[in-house]
Amino acid sequence: MAMPQSLEDRVGILEEHMGKLEAVPEAVRLLTSQISQLSLRMEAEFSAIRKQWDAKLAERFREEGEMLDERFAQMDQRFVHVDRGFARVKKDLAVLRKDTGILRRGVGTILKKLDAR
């Protein structure tokens, strides 16, 4: 059988537990401080990473914008050439219409002279 503990033993056990409980607020304060420091470090890291990504994205968007500007400039040049080509074709068609008109009148005159004989 277990012997009942004396009052002194019980007081000693209580004092031991009280000592441990008195250390809890300090441990909580220390833990809170460490969490706060970790949070600040994480925020700083996240901020640095975000700045790097923002810089990379800005660079990529700038490069894409420049590439698109170059492509549009090239397309503008191509349209200038196409417009010139259409202008030439339009001019050639006008000359062809004029020549066709002259040819029709000439053939008409020849046919009239042949019918008149």
Predicted pLDDT at 93: 92
Instruction: Give the residue ranges of the chain where pLDDT is below 50.
Output: none
pLDDT at 41: 96
Distance of CA 23 to the CA centre of its chain: 53
* Whole-number Å distance between alpha carbons of 117 and 114: 6
What Rg do the C-alpha atoms of the chain give, in angstroms? 49
Using CA atoms, how far apart are residues 72 and 95, in angstroms rounded to an integer? Answer: 34
* H or E element, residue 2: none
Rounded to whole angstroms, how far apart are CA atoms 113 and 107?
Answer: 10
Report pLDDT for 113: 86
pLDDT at 2: 58
Position 90: which residue type?
K
d(CA 33, CA 100): 97
> What is the reported pTM?
0.44
- The predicted structure's pLDDT at residue 37: 96
User: Token digits for 49?
Assistant: 């990473």
pLDDT at site 3: 62
